[in-house]
Amino acid sequence: MNDVTTAGAVSTSQESRKDKAVQRKRRRKRIRRLIISLIILAILGVAGWIGYQRLRDEYRVVYDSYTATTGNISNSLSFSGTMQLINNKSYTASSPAKVREVYVKVGDLVKEGDKLMRLSDGTTVSADFDGKINKVEFEKGDEVKANDTLVQLADFDHMRVSIRIGESNITAVDIGQSCRVTVSSINATFESAISAIDYASYTGNNVAYYTTTIDVDTSSVNNVYPGMQATVTIPQQEANNVVILKMDAISTMPDNSAFVFKQDESGQMQRSPVSVGVSNGNYVEIKEGVSDGETVYAVAKTDETSALTALFSNMFGSQQINTRNNQRNNNFGGGNTNYGGGNFGNGGGSRAPGSRGN
Structural domain contains residue 54:
no
Domain residues for 133? 88-154
Domain's final residue, options 154, 177, 193: 154
What pLDDT, on the 0 to 100 scale, is given for residue 325?
54
Structural domain contains residue 55:
no
- Shared-domain flag, residues 336 and 243: yes
- Shared-domain flag, residues 135 and 181: no
CB-CB contact of 152 with 52 (8 Å): no
Structural domain contains residue 338:
yes
**Amino acid, single-letter form, for residue 318:** S
Structural domain contains residue 20:
no
- Shared-domain flag, residues 254 and 323: yes
Residue 169: pLDDT band (50, 70, 90) is very high
Percent residues over pLDDT 90 in the chain: 59
- Shared-domain flag, residues 221 and 244: no
Which residue did the predictor score with more confidence, 9 or 352?
9
- Shared-domain flag, residues 243 and 232: no
**Secondary structure of 101-157 in HEC code, one letter for each residue:** EECCCCCCEECCCCEEEEECCCCEEECCCCEEEEEECCCCCCEECCCCEEEEEECCC
- Shared-domain flag, residues 245 and 225: no
| Residues in contact with 151: Cβ distance below 8 Å, sequence separation at least 6, in sequence order | 90, 91, 104, 116, 117, 125, 133, 135, 136, 137
Residue 26: pLDDT band (50, 70, 90) is confident
In this prediction, residues 288-300 reach a mean pLDDT of 94
**Amino acid, single-letter form, for residue 172:** A
Edge-to-edge strand ranges of the sheet holding 131-136: 88-92, 149-154, 131-136, 109-110
In this prediction, residues 119-132 reach a mean pLDDT of 97
* Total structural domains within the chain: 3
CATH of the domain at 300: 2.40.420.20
CB-CB contact of 197 with 173 (8 Å): yes
Dihedral pair phi/psi, residue 86, rounded to 5°: -90, -50
**pLDDT exceeds cutoff 90 at 185:** yes
Alpha carbon distance 214, 199 (integer Å): 15
334: left (phi over 0), alpha (psi -120 to 50) or beta: left
What pLDDT, on the 0 to 100 scale, is given for residue 323?
55
What Å distances lie between residue 37 and 41, 50, 262, CA to CA?
Answer: 6, 20, 47
Enter the pTM of the model.
Answer: 0.58
- Shared-domain flag, residues 200 and 273: no
Residue 291: pLDDT band (50, 70, 90) is very high
| Residues in contact with 296: Cβ distance below 8 Å, sequence separation at least 6, in sequence order | 65, 66, 67, 68, 245, 249, 260, 261, 262, 272, 290
Structural domain contains residue 49:
no
Alpha carbon distance 160, 88 (integer Å): 12
